[in-house]
Amino acid sequence: MNDFIIAPSILSADFARLGEEVDNVLKAGADIIHFDVMDNHYVPNLTIGPMVCKALRKHGVTAEIDVHLMVKPVDRMIGDFIEAGASIITFHPEASEHIDRSLQMIKDGGCKAGLVFNPATPLHYLKHVLDKVDMVLLMSVNPGFGGQSFIPGTLDKLREARALIDASGYDIRLEVDGGVSEKNIAEIARAGADTFVAGSAIFGKEDYKDVIDTMRKELAS
């Protein structure tokens, strides 16, 4: 696994050719696949569920699938996604009645667990569950849609999250999601992120390898 993880969001892929799109983006150098689950309740959009995750596994995808749950309630979807072959499951703490229980359900199912913070959601939820969290995902747009602009205030929040993680001593990835592109990825890494979700910046281009290579060059700069 690379030190920096590039996680294309299939929200911007061509859903009519999803298996092929995932194969192509992995061949182009992506590390993991970011899988956005929206329920038209917690967020104002509706996407894909566990059946699609299962179908990707059946298609032969072996890469980690990073399931970002934008759903309320959370817990029912956890079991379904564990069964469907998810590798990482993250959820928004304010969408869960019992955050510790939801994290534990994910861990008990053998998946990595994470919490997602909207741009205006404070990080304080993390404090008492740092030992159960493998990933912190900071949203750099309000969740619900691809193709939005990166909210600059996220950079300060990234620095705050990075300091908190480092001080905890736990091995926790810091992922950022929304408006990430080859143009701002270096600055986002400098603020402390190590895992980068990008939807439109990758799937909106003809040549996925070219944009992922450019991102890696920027990260090395």
Strands, E assignment, 129-198:
135-139, 173-177, 195-198
Residue of minimal Cβ distance to Zn ion: 68
Q: Is 19 annotated as a binding residue?
A: no
Piece of 80-88, 90-98, 127-135, 140-148 that binds ligand DX5 (CB under 6 A): 140-148
150 DSSP 8-state letter? P
List the interface residues with ligand DX5, window 62-101 (CB under 6 A): 68
Distance of alpha carbon 58 from alpha carbon 49, whole angstroms: 15
Active site residue 177: yes
List the Cα angle 87/93/97 in 5-degree steps. 105
The stretch near Zn ion (CB under 5 A) out of 63-71, 166-174, 186-194, 204-212 is 63-71
Stretch that binds Zn ion, among 30-38, 50-58, 78-86, 152-160 (CB under 5 A): 30-38
Active-site annotation holds for 36: yes
92 binds Zn ion (CB under 5 A): no
Q: Which residues contact 72 (CB under 8 A, 6 or more apart)?
A: 39, 41, 42, 92, 95
Number of H helices, E strands in the chain: 8, 8
Please report the DSSP string for 85-106 in residue order.
Answer: T-SEEEE-GGG-S-HHHHHHHH
Residue with CB nearest ligand DX5?
A: 199
Go through the chain and tell me how many residues it has: 221
Q: Which position among 197, 211, 215, 219 is part of the footprint of ligand DX5 (CB under 6 A)?
A: 197
Considering the rule CB under 6 A, would residue 198 count as an interface residue with ligand DX5? yes
Question: In this complex, which beta carbon is closest to ligand DX5, that of residue 11 or of residue 99?
Answer: 11
Among 31, 36, 194, 218, binds Zn ion (CB under 5 A): 36
Helix (H) or strand (E) holding 19: helix 18-27
Helix (H) or strand (E) run with residue 218 in it: helix 208-220
Contact between 44 and ligand DX5 by CB under 6 A: the answer reads no
Q: Which residues are catalytic?
A: 36, 177
Binding-site residues from annotation for a divalent metal cation: 34, 36, 68, 177
Enumerate binding residues for ligand DX5 (CB under 6 A).
9, 11-12, 34, 36, 68, 141, 143-144, 146-148, 177-180, 197-201
